[in-house]
């Protein structure tokens, strides 16, 4: 996990198209019972009334992904709905380019990941047929998740529809995952005889082993309330409120001091990899730097 860390929807604006092609992924396992818990959100995002930034943006579409850089918010919109928003190699590459830019010289403060169509994401493309090609695909997948997890931006996944495999894992690795209450979530890889080791690399940091292992071993879908109960997502929303709740969360983040937010996220991620003694030593340096920055702002 330390190695992973070191490497490491426009839904509110788009309605599902009734003319879209039939998605070809298999969701027959919806026949399994759903485990409703009705657990309330782990946190409450208060209503916000201030206006959004009005800075114009120029979304760049292509290769199944739309990239929009508007003021302090970077948005990735999955736009491969005819294939269940399966993430292709080109989509990975486009998002990695933006994540690396933000890592070296942050322009935005928040990253929103959304999708068009009826589902959020049904997995990733598996085009490789040779050992070398499959290894390249696997390495790119890990690099993307590591870059997303370690990004200085606060990341928000807006899951408006079903999320399977990579799609569900993508939501988990974000700082916040808001999910529409009707969505189905699962890791179905074992049903095809493939151990989902990418998600297993970090799933234990979010859910206890007694919950996490059966989830990947059997691949049965769970509903968002159950996913929230075991610590995999942040908030369950009515479908028509998802974008509004995400907007409010973004606004809440943008009210915080940008430098302090980056330091907070960085220390939080590092602390999960270190021992208590290491974290205590690092805290002295972090508190000193943070206090000096606070004093400088007060002058």
* pLDDT score at 272: 81
Token digits for 135?
A: 């290894």
CA distance 31 to 17: 25
CA distance 227 to 179: 10
* Per-position b or e across 231-257, b if 16+ CB within 10 A of its CB: ebbbbbbeeeebbebbbbbbbebbeee
pTM of the predicted structure, to 2 decimals: 0.78
* pLDDT score at 161: 98
* pLDDT score at 243: 97
| Local structure of 71: helix, strand or coil | coil
CA distance 211 to 124: 24
Answer yes or no: are the C-beta atoms of 155 and 148 closer than 8 Å: yes
Looking up tokens 């490497």, which residue turns up?
A: 7
* pLDDT score at 102: 96
Answer yes or no: are the C-beta atoms of 77 and 84 closer than 8 Å: no
* pLDDT score at 58: 58
Mean pLDDT by 10 residues, the chain (299 residues): 41 37 36 34 40 51 90 97 97 97 95 98 95 96 96 98 98 98 98 94 94 96 98 98 98 96 92 78 75 75
pLDDT tens digits, 261-294: 999 999 999 888 777 777 777 777 777 777 777 7
* Per-position b or e across 161-187, b if 16+ CB within 10 A of its CB: bbbbbbbbbbbbbbbbbbbbeebbbbb
* pLDDT score at 44: 42
């Amino acid at each position: 996990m330390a190695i992973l860390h070191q490497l490491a929807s426009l839904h509110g604006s788009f309605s599902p198209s009734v003319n879209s092609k039939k998605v070809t992924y298999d969701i027959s396992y919806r026949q399994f019972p759903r485990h409703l818990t009705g657990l309330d959100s782990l946190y409450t995002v208060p209503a916000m009334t201030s206006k959004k930034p009005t800075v114009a943006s120029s979304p760049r579409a292509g290769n199944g992904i739309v990239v929009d850089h508007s003021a302090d918010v970077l948005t990735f919109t999955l736009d491969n709905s005819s294939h269940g928003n399966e993430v292709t190699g080109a989509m990975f590459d486009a998002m990695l380019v933006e994540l690396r830019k933000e890592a070296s010289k942050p322009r935005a403060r928040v990253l929103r990941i959304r999708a068009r169509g009826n589902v959020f994401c049904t997995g990733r493309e598996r085009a490789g047929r040779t050992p070398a090609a499959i290894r390249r695909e696997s390495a790119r997948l890990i690099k993307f998740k590591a870059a997303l997890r370690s990004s200085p931006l606060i990341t928000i996944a807006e899951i408006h529809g079903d999320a399977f495999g990579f799609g569900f894992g993508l939501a988990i690795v974000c700082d916040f995952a808001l999910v529409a209450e009707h969505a189905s979530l699962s890791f179905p890889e074992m049903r095809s005889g493939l151990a989902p080791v990418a998600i297993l690399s970090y799933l234990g940091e979010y859910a206890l082993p007694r919950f996490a292992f059966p989830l990947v071993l059997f691949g049965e879908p769970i509903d968002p309330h159950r996913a929230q109960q075991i610590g995999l997502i942040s908030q369950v929303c009515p479908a028509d409120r998802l974008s509004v709740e995400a907007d409010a969360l973004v606004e809440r983040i943008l009210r915080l001091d940008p430098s302090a937010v980056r330091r907070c996220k960085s220390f939080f991620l590092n602390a999960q990899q270190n021992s208590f003694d290491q974290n205590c030593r690092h805290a002295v340096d972090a508190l000193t730097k943070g206090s000096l920055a606070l004093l400088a702002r007060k002058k």
